[in-house]
Structure 1
């Protein structure tokens, strides 16, 4: 079975459930047990944990045709990039679908390429390198999609790029149609209320430091908008 990267389509992002729907769907399938007892050993078995983690599939707002949600050094905004700009962004969140003869990873969100002055072609998420990665890890994606089907969790999880060892933590709140980062200390002040995990990573570093990626279930900063990921230690 082939594993391929699909072209970007803003409709894929818009089809994601809102967070208030995605969270209960995760609970309904006992998602915490699946993460701890099935996904953690799967990622580590295939040695993909330093490239990918899992993300709860959801959105906080819709995109217009041709818009992409782009992360500029930690702040994500929707823009319509020009053709000459497309190469400086690389996918940072992917959905996954399995048909009878192929597995498709489709990009949902993007981030600025990590090169400061030139394109960083050594990045594991640059298109050529990521193509090689998914080809070399074909068995992982086959096993993953088989488990997803067996567990009945299609559409619950997607993939997120690993942020790196020593990740300092952030609180990303949604203000209008932008995700704005706060420090964890600021988040404890401004992103109050109940939170739930929204992304998971499986490296020794994350496990050792007890890092969690959380999403506030209510935004007490700007009523009516959601908040996104919080990453904290302990």
Structure 2
């Protein structure tokens, strides 16, 4: 794997991503074969499915990096390396998409210790990406590493060029779009929409049958 700036820059807006989700009826494979793959591999507690979208554009020398529940563009010198040393830690991959035939990271986190994504799981990320392509959903979903996710801050809002995770109730429900799903082996709780993003204008009122 390596980083390609266009993997981020070619992402749709949140509104367009939500519309594409509905147009392709993506919930059916989401709660069916996609969920089953996560359960079969025993990695549903480590990875989730993310809605492919962006809130703002960045320069090719920048990466979207999350730290302490905020994500903003960080300038990097090496545009291709997956892991970049910084501040006695490292910028490491967080979210992946299937792009130009490869599983490619498009969002990152700052880690003060070891890289978040385990090398042994690169094969799983590619397997999920291939399944998404099989169902023509590689332009709808990505794969998200859950290690840094805080369920107490499930709402993502954007201020300028910064995405900020906020508590429930921070913005009206009518302006939210589901953006992250985590699967459960319990048939009554197939998937949890753990994160939502705010959209400006328009309403998104889906009924996805998920808990």
What displacement does 1:175 show? 0.7
Match of 2:206 in 1: none
Whole-angstrom distance in 1 between the partners of 2:100 and 2:45: 23
Question: Do the aligned partners of residues 43 and 209 (structure 1) sit closer, same or farther apart at CA in structure 2, a change above 3 Å counting?
Answer: closer
Match of 2:86 in 1: 85
Q: Secondary structure at the match of 1:65?
A: coil
Q: Does 1:193 align with 2:194?
A: no
Match of 1:218 in 2: 200
RMSD: 3.0
Match of 1:70 in 2: 65
Equivalenced residues, count:
194
What displacement does 1:208 show? 8.6
Structure 1: any 5+ residue segments left out of the alignment? 221-233
Match of 2:167 in 1: 183
- Tell me if the contact between 1:8 and 1:106 (Cα under 8 Å) persists in the aligned partners: yes
Q: Secondary structure at the match of 2:183?
A: coil
Q: Which has the larger radius of gyration?
A: 1
- Tell me if the contact between 1:52 and 1:159 (Cα under 8 Å) persists in the aligned partners: yes
Question: Do the aligned partners of residues 68 and 13 (structure 1) sit closer, same or farther apart at CA in structure 2, a change above 3 Å counting?
Answer: same
Match of 1:159 in 2: 143
Structure 2: any 5+ residue segments left out of the alignment? 78-83, 203-210
Match of 2:207 in 1: none
Q: Does 1:31 align with 2:33?
A: no
Match of 2:53 in 1: 58
Match of 2:43 in 1: 48
Whole-angstrom distance in 2 between the partners of 1:211 and 1:57: 15
- Tell me if the contact between 1:98 and 1:145 (Cα under 8 Å) persists in the aligned partners: no
Q: Which has the higher helix share?
A: 1
Q: Alignment partner for residue 12 of structure 2, among 17, 21, 38?
A: 17
Question: Do the aligned partners of residues 93 and 165 (structure 1) sit closer, same or farther apart at CA in structure 2, a change above 3 Å counting?
Answer: closer
Whole-angstrom distance in 2 between the partners of 1:163 and 1:134: 15
Whole-angstrom distance in 2 between the partners of 1:202 and 1:194: 24
What displacement does 1:181 show? 2.4
Q: Secondary structure at the match of 2:96?
A: strand
Query: TM-score scaled by structure 1?
Result: 0.71
